[in-house]
Structure 1
């Protein structure tokens, strides 16, 4: 295979390589260009945005294939949306979506959102409610090592709260198992709350007050008029022409061999030429290997892609190294989502909330369902409603892998019983994610250590994203901004 002639190794004028075109890579590339640096963004798939995908059909359904919303919970995220000119496109959640429903004994109950609600909710028994309040008087726990989320929640709130509130909540966030997830890394705010206050309730309240004192905006749940994909699309359109290569697989990385030497990135275009809607992107038809020089490299890739990266010596000898190979062991359970459209009269439930989550003890095939058309306006045609049903995860991974017809047959009975649905959906879209969400399980620190060691081994290499910095959209956005800052320092 032919190699292009490398550009001169003058780091001061070379661009920065950003590998990975999800929301982290896009945010890093955007920040770098805003600060006057040249960037080359590489993405192996034919589109940007990673798991964020929105589609509006001619009939008027708006389908979110990945995340359905995100929390604006920091000044960095709020400022970014303003700088991107998206203020007029923002949609806060509808007032009708304030309730969150939990299932107990095959019935939906609104989760308590206030102390009076906690006293009256049928979700918890009187003894369970007293056990919750006992946390307020907890002073300290002497933690020498990390523990599972389930262990920490049981110690503070008791088994009933774990089983009927936290278990379904974790399924909704991670599609994971609180018995396996790390308390320290999967929900760091809980870990810090315990370390600083003993009581989780008092610690979280103190964190909220501290955020307000430091000028952080009040947390709100958002999307955009045309769906969440508006965010990566806007970032992509802001990049300079020709700075992004789609359907381009990075084959090897060659670290600097001397002080001031460049990084060398060798890549291959893996699809025929095509037309992109973004002027910043290009897809070449050549299948030859191409090598280019860069002043620094940012890796904004999922764990399984990081694990495959090959680092070579300067003369491209056959001897190769995969310093991040251990990240292949990060668990990513499969998840399927079914976007289901119904006529309004087909569903008896008022759908007056965000959605419903199902505890594992309820023994159902459904992880939960979002009331998509209640969350934001214009998600369904007039006179219709939309649900997004989720299945699989670590709880029942085999269900996520079913065909569309079989998956619908498995979960529709649960939806009929819980929501009072009659008839079949008049619209359906199945999205399957074979490796959906990285699990921050016990022992996650070894993966963090592998990434830190790799950065220390190779100068001007920066790693971030979902496996390292958090799984939420804001966490990935802020990881990208931070990577850009580190690269130019």
Structure 2
């Protein structure tokens, strides 16, 4: 270890130096895991006391299992392979068949969304006009677009207003806590953008994707939704356990990164008032935008600034985990949950039926649900203290789910900067990241700031970062 910013006089060739990974969320831990498998020495730093980033699971002694962050994981083939490699197959649990319905609030009541093309045609959820629009969408030809456009406009061109209002709008509130009128079609959903470029029709693209999956011997439907018996935090724990001992530094805030003339780096980090400097071969940044914006990169007097990333919007979200007696909830909770379109003028973005999704999320005779509040739609509600927010949400749940009385268990988690919003100016943020990487050999940046916001995206971002280092 070093105590200053000067280049040390040692004869260790750079390839033998460790790779520094800044951030121990899913992206950073995924990168560390793959680099360790490739035989690379690694050092992982995180300012938090626990690894895992936004993954926070609490096992309460009374029998509640609370997910304060993400609640489920899409298991594509890459994720399934990782679960097997980490020895988590016995811990893995699939989403319950009881969670088959996806509800949307329409006209003040919960209505199940059509779950298949046949159900879409026969269901009364959408109008005849929207159904006809879906059929005519099949005839669209590939369209190379000159410029980006709002996600809502993109989907409206394909399927019309009703589907935007009662499907896209609540879906975006549930995934991004955002506004489809402001999000970039190209960056928020790159797979749809590419599907239109190749097929024209998004429906035909979905059919082609299902056919390709069958040809590979995979199920043609969407990836299974899974978790773990002890909650999603089992995944970062297993990733940490797969790493070499002593490589993870927690409560370690990295303050500065200094590139050296020989292509190596100095990493300066602080813990409990003590500053430490280490020499490494490459640096992987797997931090959220706000943390990247505060990081000093480069020699004194000539830094590379990522400060503009602080303007990447992250609306606040509050997650309310609520436990009720089963007898106090009239709705059967026979679904994944319910999402709320903005046109309904409600005070919540959506509610997950947590105890219907996976077993052992609530004690016997009780049910659990997770209510999401705030986002771009109502950031003011996300900033309310629990004692003011809870009565508002209880009134909504009484109206929508027939909930009677107060919850017997409450756990509130506030996320002041929750989910990055990939808006129409997102290219500007990506250019700042690309410039930093181009300016500094051995610097690699990934994660939610550029690679997508889901757990699957984060794991894939870590895999990609590791591959870039070992290429």
- TM-score band w.r.t. shorter chain: over 0.9
Deviation larger for 379-388 or 134-143 = 134-143
Query: Which of 247, 251, 258 is residue 243 of structure 1 equivalent to?
Result: 247
1:123 and 1:164 in contact (8 A); partners too:
no
Pick aligned residue for 1:210 from 200, 212, 237:
212
Counterparts of 1:268 and 1:321, CA distance in 2 = 20
Task: Name the SS of the counterpart of 2:90 in structure 1.
Answer: helix
CA contact (8 A) 2:133 2:159 kept: yes
Equivalence for 1:82 = 84
- Cα distance, 1:216 vs. partner? 5.2
Distance change (3 Å), C-alpha of 1:7 and 1:85: farther
Runs (4 or more) in structure 1 with deviation over 6 Å come to none
Supply the distance in 2 between the matched residues of 1:453 and 1:402 (Cα, whole angstroms): 39
Aligned residues: 465
The answer for the alignment partner of 2:74 in structure 1 is 71
Counterpart in the other structure of 2:279: 293
RMSD value over aligned CA atoms?
Answer: 1.6
Name the CA distance, whole Å, in 2 between partners of 1:233 and 1:140.
Answer: 44
How far, CA to CA, are the matches of 2:421 and 2:213 in structure 1?
Answer: 27
Q: 1:59 aligns with which of 59, 62, 78?
A: 62
Shift of 1:123: 2.5
Q: Is the 8 A contact 1:336 1:400 kept in 2?
A: yes
5 Å matches for 1:189-200?
189-200=191-202
The normalised TM-score by structure 1 is 0.92
Aligned to 1:384: 366
Q: Kindly indicate whether the alpha-carbon contact (under 8 Å) linking 2:304 and 2:436 is maintained by their aligned counterparts in 1.
A: no
Residue 35 of structure 1 pairs with residue 22 of structure 2: no
> Could you tell me how far 1:7 is from its partner in structure 2?
7.5
Is 1:120 the equivalent of 2:122?
A: yes
What's the offset of the Cα at 1:142? 4.6
- Please state how far the C-alpha of 1:122 moved relative to its aligned partner: 3.2
Aligned to 1:252: 256
Work out which of the residue numbers 284, 289, 294 in structure 2 matches 1:303: 289
User: Which TM-score applies when normalising by structure 2?
Assistant: 0.95
Whole-angstrom distance in 2 between the partners of 1:200 and 1:476: 25
CA–CA distance in structure 1, aligned partners of residues 305 and 216 of structure 2: 39
* 1:13-412 equivalences in 2 (<5 Å): 13-73=16-76, 75-214=77-216, 219-258=223-262, 261-269=263-271, 271=272, 287-313=273-299, 317=300, 319-412=301-394
Give me the whole-angstrom Cα distance separating, in 1, the residues matched to 2:393 and 2:112. Answer: 21
Q: What CA deviation, in whole Å up to 9, does each residue of 1:210-245 have, x standing for no partner?
A: 244345566110000010000001111222221111
Secondary structure of the residue that 1:452 maps to in structure 2?
A: helix
Structure 1 residue 429 and structure 2 residue 431: aligned?
no
Q: Secondary structure in 2 aligned to 1:336?
A: strand
Q: Helix, strand or coil: the match of 1:354?
A: strand
Contact 1:60/1:379 (CA < 8 Å) preserved in 2?
A: yes
Shift of 1:481: 1.5
- Give a deviation string over 1:415-462, Cα, whole Å, max 9, x none: 111111111101000011011011111121121122122111111111
